Amino acid sequence: MCVSKRLDLDLAALPKRAQDELYDFYLFLKQRYQREQPPSTASETALLSEQNLREDWNKKEEDQVWQAFQ
């Protein structure tokens, strides 16, 4: 039997309060392991949004605004 099926059966046998505690622990573990992932997702997001942002960056209005800071 796979782990998820065993968990379903064992979880159903627990009292409601224990189920809530177990779910809270699951959320804790999920958050902990998400922090350990490499930050490549932020880089990927930046790369994927670059094409859309380029349309705004290449406007004359943008150049005029940024000239004040150069």
Number of domains in the chain: 1
- The confidence score (pLDDT) of residue 54 equals 79
42 domain-assigned: no
20 domain-assigned: yes
Kindly tell me the sign of the dihedral angle through the C-alpha atoms of 17, 18, 21, 23: negative
Contacts of residue 62, defined as CB under 8 A and 6 or more positions apart, other chains included, come to 56
* Tens digits of residue pLDDT in 10-55: 989 999 999 999 999 999 998 888 876 665 666 777 777 777 777 7
Give dist(CA 1, CA 5) in Å, integer: 7
14 domain-assigned: yes
CB atoms within 10 A of CB 34: 9
Q: Which residue has the higher pLDDT, 42 or 6?
A: 6
48 domain-assigned: no
2 domain-assigned: yes
28 domain-assigned: yes
30 domain-assigned: yes
Residue numbers of the domain that contains 7: 1-36
- The confidence score (pLDDT) of residue 38 equals 63
Quick check: pTM over 0.95? no
57 domain-assigned: no
